[in-house]
Amino acid sequence: MMKKMFKFGLLLVSMLTASTMLFASGQQAQSGQTSGGKQVKISFWHIGTAPTDKGFYQGVVDEYMKAHPNVTIEVTILENEAFKSKLTTVMQSGNPPDIFHSWGGGVLAEYAKAGLLKDITQEVKSSGFYDTMAPGVWGVYSYNGKIYGAPHDMGAITVWYNKELLAKVGYTSFPSDWDEFIILVKKLKAAGITPIALGGGDKWPAMHIWSYIALRLGGGELFENTFSGKNKAGFKDPTFVKAGQILADLAALKPFQDGFLGATYNDEAALVGNGVAAMEIMGQWAPNVQNDSSTSKKGLGDKLATAPFPMIKGGKGKITDVIGGGNGMAIGKNAPIETLDFLRFLDSKENNAKYATIAGIIPTVKGAEVGITDPNAKLVKSIVDKTTYYQLYLDQFLSPAAGAAVNDAVQTILAGTATPEQACAAIQAAYEQSK
């Protein structure tokens, strides 16, 4: 599956531009597969800590339980890192939640291989649920041709920046070239403005920067050849090492806030949302988290804009090469049949469109794109629509151990405790061990 997953971008494009409406309104247990009135409990874990997310999920839960009085859905809300930690613990005990947040990819594959997830392929396809999204999207939530979950949001990592702060140093748009980007960073520093907010303590935010630099240098071919085994050097390839050196050179400029190595992602979002830092490199959820993390709870409003990650001169990458992913739900091995019915309700066209409107997500369900109203979300959608190579976040695409190694290695580069060569060798060692 690993060798197939990174190809889903082209299919994702067709999904995001489709307008066929296959999922009717009403949304009550269309599969007809229920426990026949027997009292059922469903455990539901999600990471939507922002008020808009919490409100959306709770509204869906309440509506479903009202239509199905025999079903009780017990909701657990966890912050990103707390979720990962607690999920690891319950998975080790062999007792997963019935439905829980998932980024798909290698982590989902590991759980599927361990028998911790429910194969929902037959139910998804026989109920018509499968046809509400493009086949490529389902690939991210599949392993060995079997489906174990479903996405509701697929977007891209972009640069989210404060137009007002950039204007103070003479910019009316974001640089499209890395050299120009470095000049911007230096100008912001000189003006006493923190150029980039980074939650280095959580590690994964920094991983996106290194990954994107590597993609701009080597293009999709670098990643394809590494995952297929054609590139014998793997992550020790000189291009990955060069990406590490470029990241180290960036860190030498001290573009991040003081104490960034111990900061959380929410700290990062707050710095941008409060107008302290000029930018962050983050996914499509960034505005929502900025709003929630800001003092005003309103974030930057119209001052916020987004742009593609800068190109690097001499690199093989294209502006249409994208690193991204999204959010969805996986189904635990012991989940009652009503869990799948609830998943279909959660991912109905109406609810997917509603979530796009209130949270700025890039919806996966056909026809739900009508819910996109935010200009920045529309821009992210246009970036994904034009994708020629789409790489799922490395810490989710790879196995849990290899993904964690990527995050750890990138942090050592930023901390100056390892050279780019050493960091890339550590990633390759973990990658080989996880095969």
Eight-state DSSP code of residue 308: P
Q: What letter would DSSP give residue 51? A: H
In this predicted structure, what is the pLDDT of residue 360?
86
Q: What is the largest CA-CA distance in the chain?
A: 68
Domains, the chain, ranges and CATH? 40-154+326-373 (3.40.190.10), 158-323+394-434 (3.40.190.10)
Enumerate helices (H) and strands (E) in the chain, giving the number of each.
19, 12
For 42, the token pair is: 């469903």
Contact 318, 388 (CB under 8 A): yes
Give CA–CA dist 173/357, Å, rounded: 26
Return the SS3 of 72.
strand
- The per-residue pLDDT for 46 is 98
Angle at 235 between CA 233 and CA 236, to 5 degrees: 55
Which pLDDT score is estimated for 166?
Answer: 99
Cβ atoms < 10 Å from Cβ of 72 = 13
Predicted local confidence at residue 34, as pLDDT: 58
User: What are the Cα distances from residue 294, in Å, to 117, 213, 267, 268, 301?
Assistant: 37, 29, 9, 10, 11
Residue 37's pLDDT is what?
Answer: 74
From the list 243, 269, 215, 234, the residue with the least C-alpha distance to 410 is 243
Among 286, 291, 262, 312, which residue's Cα sits nearest to residue 159? Answer: 286
Mean of pLDDT over the chain: 91
Q: What is the pLDDT of residue 33?
A: 53
Binned average pLDDT, 10 residues per bin, the chain of 435 residues: 36 36 35 68 96 96 98 97 95 98 94 98 96 88 95 96 99 98 99 99 98 98 95 98 99 99 98 99 95 96 98 97 95 98 98 94 93 93 89 93 97 99 99 92
Give per-residue pLDDT as tens, 12-59: 333 333 332 222 233 444 434 556 679 999 999 999 998 999 999 999
Q: Which residues pair with 161 in a beta bridge?
A: 279, 305
Radius of gyration over every alpha carbon of the chain, rounded to an integer in angstroms: 21
Q: 263-314, pLDDT tens digit by residue?
A: 999 999 999 999 999 999 999 999 999 999 999 999 999 999 999 999 999 9
Rounded distance between C-alpha atoms, residue 354 and residue 56, angstroms: 8
CB distance 65 to 71 below 8 Å: yes
As a whole number of Å, the end-to-end CA separation of the chain is 12
